[in-house]
Chains A and B, each alone.
Chain A
């Protein structure tokens, strides 16, 4: 890293490539944003289901266990006629896979931390991930806290207010979703898109 930038005669673009900048904020131009987004959270909270709902519009109650991580991308258009291409890394939820998570959240512009509203344990895990991202994620990372499986309200164990409070305390965007009913799934990504810092004219 150091050596590459000390070499003269490199265009800024090349520098960016070597310094991982293209993925840091993933900006291609002011009207067409490219955003690296990472989904974190306990196993089984529905990360993969959220992504599949968002990207393919489907809900598969028997999704596959995610091993390591899997990648999907989806582009949305906003009302101000900008497009946002989400490059989504859906990570594995089991605790031991956390060792690999930095590989995926490094350079991510957006971190979406998911918990299951029927599982207080998953809410604790979510808080761990928030801290981890605050500590080791990109400094200007946009964080979202998502309480999934909102359709299972009769089994709810994490009050909405807990989510709201925690998110507010940490300057995050908060939303409750259901991958099953598609509730708030698109809203989640649209809200994130709105919160992404727009590039200055330079890049």
Chain B
């Protein structure tokens, strides 16, 4: 076990808690949801336990009756306890393998891990439980029972919860009688707790055989085990459904007589469906006595007082079946007990082994099964060689059991899934129930019902999601490209496992294909917003495929499916199937006529193709067609009677051709009637389509206009933005200019200031100049004064000299006097010229020389030189 756990540890990252492979891109999402799943699982297992406990209580009174019944039905239950002790549900499947892989059979590696972890918890829980109950003074041994019974962790946990959280449990424990507890214990024994189990139930020889010896394969195959007693009530309820439909079938087989699959199928199917419908309704109405037929046939069943809880059960089923109960609950739903024929499975296998290829399962199916076995949940820990042997046996047995189906790809997955949940023979009968009844006509050579369902789904889509379908039409995507595989695989491999199992819970409970439609519609509802955004076919398909594959929120999906599409009922679907079936049959008939199966298989496609353009609500069509339909029905049933009469009278073999012809004619007639009806319809459809299209056209135009306007607005906005930008730029420039202006202004001011200071300077200079001039004037005056003084002095001196010296000597001085005068006047003139022509006294100039010593000296020397030259 430890080694195994290690191996699982490595593996378990890529696999979910059921042991199925996870897509790499989903590992993270899955991890996110694991805790949610765990939480949900905890809730639902406590709910279920509560429910089943009440069932047990309730059923206690009738349990004797039940056992009697079991015996009377000739089943192996000589002793209820013995059969119960054989019950280890996984025993058979896992028995084919070594005992260490037992744990993985039922749950994936992760659960195993969880369980082993919880094992410890369990011990604690049990202790707590003991304490609790002890303190409440319960009889100790009962508690011990619980403690040792090897119940699963979940159960004990939940039990503990019950004990802790409410005061009810005491009563519960009390009320459940010891014998029941014993049964419960036994029934809940799990393979993974086999050690405990062996300790507890040593007399169980079969179990020892299972877990310790491999060579007794044959005996293991035959193994059949009953489900736990607490589920008997459900089983009985569902068995009743099975019996009813069986009778109907037998009735039909008796009535139809001949063996021409095609028309009979058509005929019986419709009637059968209706009757089945009634049966289901009866069950739902909890009113069995009203139907004379059923009450007479099933006197035992009518006595059953269990039906008030049916609604509660339905609610529980919508919430999901707990993992550890699922295998048994499914068997109960499918009504395995009522279906089972003692030794039938063994005999099928024995025949298959002994007869060989000639008489056994046709080689083509065998080959296909061989091809597909390794490709069924590849790598699943439970599908080792022994698991595959089980799978092979089951598929071969079924192919032999129902040659009209034989083997069809997809069945390998269903068989594989069932084998993971229950013993081989139980799985076989569950499988038979599903394929023969719930999916009758689905996986046959012609796959008629499967094709019909696609037409029905297409119609439902158009009705429910016109916008989405329009969009997909526009992209060139057909919904059925994806819904086809969904339906055919019952969502196995298409959705995450948690979601697949939740859908199967509901589907098997309801016992029809309604859940297929509801789930597919729910997926469309969940993902249509995303799909509406896609731009090409490939993207839309990829998106839907990926989104579906990551629908981890299983509760949301199931809730949307069950609550959102209540109008999609079996009755409604039957109506729609009836409408579409002829179209498919027509194609099949064509092939039949040509005697070539592989001829023209364009049927569904062409029908769907034309369908695409019929935008018409169903109801109208139904109304119009009703008259003809009933006419058609009576017509064909008359023919049917005729046919039966023929076949009965002539023993069929004498007139095979005639019979064939009649069949052919009948089909032809149906077709013609149908054609007529559809021609009328088509006209109306076209009209409606036309109106629709015109509307759509207007809508398109408007959208185009809006787009145009929007574009304009966008353009204007752009322009506005541009303008704003420009404005801003201008502003910027303006600001810069202003700044410059300011700078120049400043400069100007500065300049002005400078100018004024200069003016001031000029003024100052002027003043100085004036002063200087004034001084000059003063000087001149002084010079004049000095000159006059000098003249006066000269005059005086000359007067003196004239008086003293000769005339000659008198001359010379006169010339000498004359010459300085000239000089001074010369000087005076020159100075006057250079300075502003100030009127100067000729006389005053003489004084300058004396005034300015130096100048006058040089002047004098200069003059002296001149004088000298003049003298020379």
Contacts and interface: CB of A to CB of B under 8 A. Distances in A.
B476 A69 contact: no
Contacts of A107: 476
A102 interface: yes
Given A22-B476, A71-B481, A99 B413 contact: no
A4 B443 CA distance: 36
Contacts of B446: 96, 99
Given A85-B538, A136-B602, A99 B412 contact: no
A23 B286 CA distance: 52
A20 interface: yes
Contact of B605 (A62, A63, A89, A103): A103
Contact-residue size bin, chain A (C-beta under 8 Å from the other chain): 35 or more
Interface string B572-616: 000000000000000000000000001011111110110001000
Interface string A6-24: 0101100010011011111
Nearest to A89: B481
Interface string B500-526: 000000000000000000000000000
B693 A3 contact: yes
Given A7-B694, A23-B476, A65 B602 contact: no
B705 interface: no
A148 to B, nearest CB: 14
Contact of A67 (B374, B493, B541, B690): B493
B484 A103 contact: yes
A127 B185 CA distance: 61
A87 B538 contact: yes
B378 interface: yes
Which of B492, B537, B538 counts the most chain A CB atoms within 10 A?
B538
B404 to A, nearest CB: 12
Interface string B402-440: 000000111011000000000000000000000000000
A98 interface: yes
A106 B541 CA distance: 16
Contacts of B477: 23
B693 A4 contact: yes
Contacts of B492: 67
B831 interface: no
Nearest to B685: A3
A67 B475 CA distance: 24
B259 interface: no
Tell me whether chain A's interface is mostly helix, strand or loop, or mixed: mixed
Nearest to A105: B605
A53 to B, nearest CB: 16
A17 B481 CA distance: 17
A92 interface: yes
Contact of A34 (B372, B444, B536, B605): B536
Given A3-B693, A65-B376, A18 B473 contact: yes
Contact of A103 (B481, B538, B686): B481
Contact of B542 (A24, A26, A64, A71): A71
B485 A101 contact: no
B697 A9 contact: yes
A134 interface: no
A157 B112 CA distance: 46
Contact of B481 (A26, A69, A95, A96): A69
Nearest to B697: A9
A101 B537 contact: no
B466 interface: no
A3 B689 contact: yes
B686 to A, nearest CB: 6
A71 B541 contact: yes
A178 interface: no
Given A7-B697, A28-B536, A43-B371, A17 B489 contact: no
B368 interface: yes
Contacts of B601: 98-102, 132
A94 interface: yes
Contact of A4 (B379, B537, B613): B613
Which of A4, A64, A136 counts the most chain B CB atoms within 10 A?
A64
B795 interface: no
Contacts of A62: 374-375, 378-379
A89 B689 CA distance: 31
A136 B609 CA distance: 14
Interface string B670-691: 0000000000000000100110
Nearest to B487: A68
B372 A99 contact: no
A173 B181 CA distance: 71
B193 interface: no
Interface in A61-119: 62-73, 85, 87, 89, 92-104, 106-107
B488 A68 contact: yes
Contacts of B474: 14, 17-18
A128 interface: yes
B473 A17 contact: yes
Contact of B408 (A28, A72, A96): A96
A36 B536 CA distance: 12
A68 B485 contact: yes
Contacts of B29: none
A23 to B, nearest CB: 4
A67 B693 contact: no
A24 to B, nearest CB: 8
B537 A22 contact: yes
Given A3-B613, A43-B368, A100 B604 contact: yes
B413 A67 contact: yes
A67 B378 contact: no
Contacts of A100: 447, 451, 484, 601, 604-605
Contact of B476 (A21, A97, A104): A21
B387 to A, nearest CB: 14
A4 B473 CA distance: 13
A164 B609 CA distance: 35
Given A99-B603, A103-B604, A94 B541 contact: no
A127 B364 CA distance: 19
Given A3-B690, A28-B536, A107-B476, A96 B447 contact: yes
Contacts of B689: 3
A54 to B, nearest CB: 15
Contacts of B602: 102, 136
Contacts of A3: 613, 686, 689-690, 693
B371 A99 contact: no
Nearest to A26: B537
Interface string B354-371: 000000000010001001
Contacts of B538: 34, 71, 73, 85, 87
7 tightest CB-CB pairs across the interface, nearest first? A68-B485, A62-B378, A102-B605, A23-B476, A17-B474, A87-B538, A67-B489
5 contacts: A22-B537, A72-B542, A87-B537, A96-B446, A103-B484
Given A20-B476, A65-B410, A85-B538, 19 more contacts: A1-B613, A7-B697, A9-B697, A18-B473, A18-B613, A21-B476, A23-B477, A44-B371, A62-B374, A65-B413, A67-B492, A67-B493, A94-B368, A94-B409, A96-B408, A97-B447, A99-B601, A100-B601, A102-B606
